[in-house]
Structure 1
Amino acid sequence: MKRISILLSLITSVTATQAQKTVTKAEVFATVDQAVGNIAFTNDGDLVYSHHPFFGPEIRVVKFDKKTNTTTPFPNLEWNTPRATDDNYLSNVLGIRNDENGIIWMLDMAQRDNVTPKIVGWNTQTNSLERIYYLPKSVVPAISQPNDMVVDTKNGYFIIADEGIGNGGDGSKAAFVIVDMKTGKARRVLEGTRTTLPENTPTVIDGKHLAVNGKDLLIGNDGITADANFEYIYYGPLNGTKIYRVKTLDLVDETMTEAVLDSKIETYSEKPNNGGMSIDKEGNLYLTALETKSVAVVLAKDRSVHTMIKDDNLVWPDGVSYNHVDGYMYVSAAQLNRGAAFNNGKSIATKPFYIFRFKPIVEGVSFR
């Protein structure tokens, strides 16, 4: 409790004129040779993460060995090897989550190969395939970019945030994709609506706009998380000033019209342009603040926004997630803004790529 009291005291001291202050310090956990996307964990606390698909990695998902600072393909090399004979491999993975049963769920956007988008579950307890959920074109059209998800084992749904920027999409058709864990049925909801659309708040890092061919890239529904009881889904467009929340059971209710569903969505708090999102057991939200090389925190007590950690090497912080074994939040620095698409066709990303970690204010939510 002493540590928590100190952290809360620090938070109270942060004001708008002291924006450079942070609640706690970032610790470098590891440096690696490829850009890290999102991070999940085995039941033993080992890191399993996606290599950011923006850089076209040969190996899509890896397991990290801290002792040797090396990686091995996850779940194996076969699943990371494209082929023409079947769809049972990983094509283009960013979103990755773990559940309480030791299953790592990988969201395959499938944009690099002519395969069907899918969610692949690998059971780390038995080292075997748990299940594949295929996402048909009716719910994942060409402009889709299913970016991140909540794995809601309480209510039995995958809730996917779709940015709407695939294959030249401009974010105007960003949406949610809801997948029933029992039946595999998938449906698309809230496409191009007020809370999934990007706002006209361009991403600016070190004074440079994130733009393609001179046009600002505006990204829709992106960061997503759920509270410890899966009562609420928290989310927002990457380019946007607001976090929204909606009751999970409302979002997955097939009988509710979109107009009624939209009326039940609450504007929860302010936010910066952000990527990944996580939460702790008291409802404090942690979100990667892309433009300021930091992770922000939205306090549950008053919904105010503060800087949790900041580091010059936290360039394009992407996923943030909680490790239930060691009690740290982990965050990747993907350097996405340094990729070729945003720099006249030539990547200016540099090795090493960083994985940071920090202690949340209180215990984080492990499975969501």
Structure 2
Amino acid sequence: MKRLITAAGLCVALALPAAAGNLETYLSFDKSMPPGNLAIGPDGRMFMSVHEFYGPELRVVEVNKDGTTTPYPTENWARAPQEDGDGLNGVLGLRADRDGILWMLDGQGDNQTGRIVAWDTKSERLHGIFYIGAPVSRPTSFLNDLAVDRDHEAIYISDTGDGQNSALIVVDLETGRARRVLVGSAFTTPEDTPMVIDGREILLGGNPAKIGVNPITVDPTNTWVYFAPMTASSMYRVRTTDLLDEALSEEELVDRVERYGDKPISDGSTVDTGGNVYITAMTDNAIGVTRPDGSYEVLFQYDEDLP
């Protein structure tokens, strides 16, 4: 039987069982190691961000074959920043590319600008750092997730923000230039829908949680970027070439965005070669898929094992 690995904010679909009885637990972590995102390198090594909302000591770890974890990339880098700048403030977005570069989206914090830290997992050396500063990043920004496009040497970031000015950020890896696009658009801001999990409405800052763009992924051919607000009933997509075209006005770019299909309130996502977008349907304790024909299907749902 194949396996399904799940973690907060990401699903990695190795198989898609329809019944709870087919679920196999691949790895378990205690409360000190709450999963954020998973990234699998080309050599099969597994890396995991540790969810920052729970105040963990470690930010990123390597998950060993026996289920143990090792601070990653180094003892210093895996923890809060030191005086010399080494260290990570808070990482959710995590991707490994075909060359073995691990891309870590390190959100802004006290006295720290948001940035992307790239680590070469083959040579175990720092590959580069790309800063996401003002005015592209704003005081209300929350740099949530990223998609890596090595064909165009670009990275696409979902800035969840405060729900009003949520946006995508496009980073040119050759120049380091970053641009903020689709700011406050219908494709990046939340719908007016309550977030109810296990019969309880979720609040954020004492108000009903309505969260902007979060899930973002790019297809294996680096042709389309798929994204959506967490609180939304639609998945959207836009061509990478359109996101990268600086000659397009904001209005022209908005016209290039397509509604791809239905979805529930969701967190992380990934897409396969057939255009099936897999999502973590957090309010349904499920993993589902948005099909190329626009329909949505629940692939796996189980209250006990997918909380």
Q: TM-score, normalised by structure 2?
A: 0.90
Paired residues of 2:20 and 2:301 also in contact (CA < 8 A): no
1: CA distance, partners of 2:296 / 2:91: 30
Q: Does 2:111 align with 1:119? A: no
> What is residue 213 of structure 2 aligned with on the other side?
221
Residue 268 and residue 177 in structure 1: after superposition, are their counterparts in 2 closer, same or farther (change >3 A)? same
Q: Does 1:204 align with 2:201?
A: no
1:304 and 2:295 equivalent? yes
* Offset of residue 314 of structure 1: 4.3
For residues 39 and 158 of structure 2, the distance between their equivalents in structure 1, rounded to whole angstroms, comes to 17
8 A contact 2:59–2:80 mirrored in 1: no
Q: Label 1:22 to 1:231 Cα distance change in 2 as closer, same or farther (>3 A).
A: farther
Map of 1:154 onto structure 2: 151
Structure 2 CA distance for aligned equivalents of residues 26 and 139 of structure 1: 42
Look up the SS of the partner of 1:27 in the other structure: coil
1:246 aligns with 2:244: no
RCO (CA 8 Å, sep 6+): is it higher in 1 or 2?
Answer: 1
Equivalent residues of 1:176, 1:189 under 8 A apart: yes
Paired position in structure 2 for 1:363: none
Corresponding position of 1:260: 252
Cα offsets for 1:1-48 (capped at 9, x unmatched): xx9xxxxxxxxxxxxxxxxx6699432111112210000012221210
Partners of 1:87 and 1:215 in 2: CA distance: 35
Structure 2 vs 1, CA of residues 244 and 23 (structure 1 numbering), >3 Å: closer, same or farther? farther
Unaligned runs of 5+ in 2: 3-17
Aligned partners of 1:116 and 1:136 also within 8 Å: yes
Q: 2:269 aligns with which of 271, 277, 282?
A: 277
How far apart are the structure 1 equivalents of 2:169 and 2:256? Answer: 18
Higher share of residues assigned helix? 1
SS class of match (1:43): coil
Task: Give CA deviations for 1:141-182 in whole Å, capped at 9, x if unaligned.
Answer: 111111111100011110001111xxxx3x111001110010
Q: Which of 99, 102, 115 does residue 101 from structure 1 map onto?
A: 99
| Partner deviation per Cα, 1:262-284 (whole Å, 9 max, x = no partner) | 01111110100000011111111
Cα deviation, 1:319-364, whole Å, max 9, x if unaligned, reads xxxxxxxxxxxxxxxxxxxxxxxxxxxxxxxxxxxxxxxxxxxxxx
Contact 1:296 1:309 in 2 (8 A): yes
The alpha carbon displacement at 1:76 in A equals 1.0
Displacement of 1:253 in angstroms is: 1.1
Give, in whole Å, the separation in 2 of the partners of 1:315 and 1:211: 21
Q: Which letter does structure 2 place at the counterpart of 1:121? A: A
How far off is 1:66 after superposition? 2.6
- Give the aligned CA root-mean-square deviation in angstroms: 1.8
Q: Name the counterpart of 2:177.
A: 185
Using the TM superposition, give the Cα deviation of residue 81 of structure 1 relative to its aligned residue in structure 2, in angstroms.
Answer: 3.3
Distance 1:92 1:243 in 2: 27
Distance 1:24 1:228 in 2: 31
Q: Distance in 2 between matches of 1:31 and 1:84?
A: 30
Q: Is the 8 A contact 1:25 1:309 kept in 2?
A: no
Shift of 1:104: 0.6
Normalising by structure 1, we get a TM-score of: 0.75
- CA deviations on 1:50-79 (whole Å, 9 max, x unpaired) are 000111111000001132x21111101110
State the shift of 1:202 in Å.
1.8
Say whether 1:145 aligns with 2:145.
Answer: no
Matched to 2:169, the amino acid is V
Shift of 1:117: 1.0
Q: 1:213 to 1:94 in 2, by over 3 A?
A: closer
Distance in structure 1 (CA, Å) of the matches to 2:288 and 2:20: 9
Q: Distance in 2 between matches of 1:234 and 1:115?
A: 29
Please give the secondary structure, in 1, of the residue aligned with 2:267.
strand
What residue in structure 2 maps to residue 365 of structure 1? Answer: none
One-letter amino acid matched to 1:260:
E
Q: Cα deviations across residues 208-246 of structure 1 (Å, max 9, x unaligned)? A: 011035411111011011112111111100000000111
- Residue 71 (structure 2) pairs with residue 73 (structure 1): yes
Report the Cα distance in structure 2 between the residues aligned to 1:25 and 1:279, rounded to whole angstroms. Answer: 23
Partner of 1:14: none
- Whether contact under 8 Å (2:285, 2:302) holds in the other structure is yes
Letter matched to residue 105 of structure 1: W
Q: Provide the rounded CA distance (Å) in 1 between the counterparts of 2:217 and 2:153.
A: 15
For residue 315 of structure 1, report the CA deviation from its aligned partner: 4.4
Whether 2:64 is the aligned partner of 1:39: answer: no
Q: How does 1:164-179 map to 2 (within 5 A)?
A: 164=161, 169=162, 171-179=163-171
Alignment of 1:230-241 (within 5 A): 230-241=222-233
